[in-house]
């Protein structure tokens, strides 16, 4: 891989041991994936935050590092609400270690926002055409697909290396040649709300690490796209998808270096020549309909779920509004978690108190998937295709799947 004189100096240790090892990580990954060079990133979102995942060893590694991030950087969800961990049933020991992890990142200049939806709280972290080093699979998918930015799915150390150096190796989803549809999925169904999670749950299993292009009947909203991409990244490893007529258009140029920042016409979805090219190149065509979506609900019935968890990925303000409206005048008799980013909760105190008046808990900085607090439940009901994929394996908890409305009705039951 080509390195500039300055980059090579960092690799030789000119700027200290931490940066030397960080550059070594970037160069090793660049060599493995055949990158030609490094490319500057606008921001980083760093995985390896939940103490449940990284353990003592990860904490020690982060604590041993010296230096300061070169670009704005925030964190993945942690293993607990950093303030209300006791209410979640987290023990003192875990809480102390989790706080240390976050402090260790803060010492490096990372902002202690722990969320899978950085784009919902810091719009300046990403613009169309930007190169990023993001970690969380749903955030990666949203940035690539909906926002038209470019990022691979980084592991914890490689995202932190990119944050400290300010660069990432140029390969994978940074290049046009890997941003073309591999599957066309025509969906003959009227989708709403959690249906997008069900669709993603199915599509991820079909396309695995492919790049699907969806032909949908309706027009999904931002939160629907968030749910769709999150589910595909969990049931498969989809990091980029397209929705015809809606998301930024697929790369069509033959040059891998072409940057599409700002110079694309907004309406290119009607370019028939390129459409034909996509039809030709996409290897597989798949048709899904209402009955396929319905089957996801039927296969994972609510049963007798003792707890209900919403907010995977973290709820937007619009989703909090909807949940608050559904909960008005009702009582959550079962454990009900509504997970969101702390900044969103803090900016909407009225919504938080409306939701919590029902007995539900608005939980920040973490979620039902990454917190060990989930493990004490036997069965959890979710409205998210991503949570549905992960809860059984990562938490050892049975999962049911239902619409937001049905989730809240279940929480209300005695």
Site string for another protein, 99-118 (x = CB under 8 A): --------------------
Secondary structure of the chain: what % helix, strand, coil (to 5)? Answer: 45, 15, 40
Please report how close the Cβ of residue 163 comes to another protein at its closest, in angstroms. 14
Token pair 């993001």 is found at: 134
Please report how close the Cβ of residue 47 comes to another protein at its closest, in angstroms. 8
**Residue 369 has what DSSP assignment?**
T
Please report how close the Cβ of residue 99 comes to another protein at its closest, in angstroms. 19
Out of 72, 157, 229, 250, the residue judged to bind another protein by CB under 8 A: 157
| Contact call for residue 158 and another protein (CB under 8 A) | yes
Which is closer to another protein, CB of 185 or CB of 234? 234
| Contact call for residue 199 and another protein (CB under 8 A) | no
**Which sign, positive or negative, has the C-alpha torsion 226, 232, 238, 240?**
negative
Token pair 């909960």 is found at: 327
Which residues in the 25-64 window bind another protein by CB under 8 A?
Answer: 25, 28-29, 31-32, 47-48, 53-58, 60-61
| Contact call for residue 169 and another protein (CB under 8 A) | no
**Which sign, positive or negative, has the C-alpha torsion 343, 347, 353, 358?**
negative
Out of 3, 9, 15, 21, the residue judged to bind another protein by CB under 8 A: 21
| Contact call for residue 151 and another protein (CB under 8 A) | no
Which run of H or E residues covers position 339? strand 335-340
Closest CA to 360 of 297, 303, 315: 315
Which residues in the 380-399 window bind another protein by CB under 8 A?
Answer: none
Q: Do β-strands 379-382 and 307-315 pair in parallel, antiparallel, or remain unpaired?
A: parallel
| Span interacting with another protein, options 79-87, 94-102, 156-164, 226-234, rule CB under 8 A | 156-164
Residue partners of 104: CB distance under 8 A and separation at least 6: 59, 62, 63, 65
User: Which parts of this chain interact with another protein (CB under 8 A)?
Assistant: 21, 24-25, 28-29, 31-32, 47-48, 53-58, 60-61, 155-158
């Amino acid at each position: 891989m080509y390195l500039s004189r300055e980059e090579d100096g960092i690799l030789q240790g000119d700027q200290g041991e931490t940066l030397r090892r960080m550059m070594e990580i970037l160069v090793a990954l660049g060599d493995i994936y055949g990158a030609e060079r490094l490319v500057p990133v606008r921001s980083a979102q760093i995985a390896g935050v939940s103490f449940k995942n990284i353990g003592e060893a990860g904490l020690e590694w982060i604590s041993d590092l010296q230096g300061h991030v070169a670009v704005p950087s925030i964190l993945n969800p942690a293993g607990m609400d950093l303030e209300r961990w006791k209410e979640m049933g987290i023990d003192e020991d875990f809480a102390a270690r989790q706080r240390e992890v976050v402090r260790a990142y803060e010492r490096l200049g990372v902002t202690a926002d722990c969320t899978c939806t950085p784009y919902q709280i810091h719009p300046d972290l990403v613009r169309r055409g930007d190169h990023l080093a993001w970690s969380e699979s749903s955030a990666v998918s949203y940035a690539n697909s909906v926002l038209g930015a470019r990022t691979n799915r980084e592991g914890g150390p490689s995202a932190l290396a990119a944050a400290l150096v300010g660069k990432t190796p140029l390969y994978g989803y940074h290049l046009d040649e890997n941003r073309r549809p591999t599957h066309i999925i025509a969906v003959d169904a009227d989708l709403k709300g959690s249906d997008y999670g069900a669709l993603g749950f199915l599509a991820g299993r079909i396309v695995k690490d492919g790049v699907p292009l969806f032909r949908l009947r309706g027009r999904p909203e931002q939160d629907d796209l968030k749910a769709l991409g999150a589910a595909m990244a969990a049931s498969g490893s989809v990091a980029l998808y397209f929705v015809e007529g809606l998301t930024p258009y697929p790369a069509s140029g033959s040059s891998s270096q072409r940057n599409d920042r700002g110079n694309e016409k907004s309406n290119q979805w009607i370019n028939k020549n390129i459409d034909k090219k996509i039809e030709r190149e996409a290897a597989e065509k798949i048709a899904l309909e209402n009955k396929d979506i319905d089957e996801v609900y039927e296969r994972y019935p609510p049963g007798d779920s003792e707890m209900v968890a919403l907010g995977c990925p973290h709820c937007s303000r619009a989703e909090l509004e909807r949940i608050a409206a559904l909960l008005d005048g009702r009582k959550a008799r079962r454990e009900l978690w509504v997970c969101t980013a702390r900044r969103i909760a803090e900016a909407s105190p009225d919504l938080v108190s409306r939701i919590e008046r029902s007995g539900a808990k608005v939980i920040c900085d973490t979620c039902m998937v990454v917190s060990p607090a989930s493990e004490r439940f036997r069965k959890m009901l979710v409205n998210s295709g991503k949570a549905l994929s992960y809860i059984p394996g990562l938490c050892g908890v049975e999962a049911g799947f239902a619409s937001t409305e049905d989730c809240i009705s279940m929480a209300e039951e005695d």
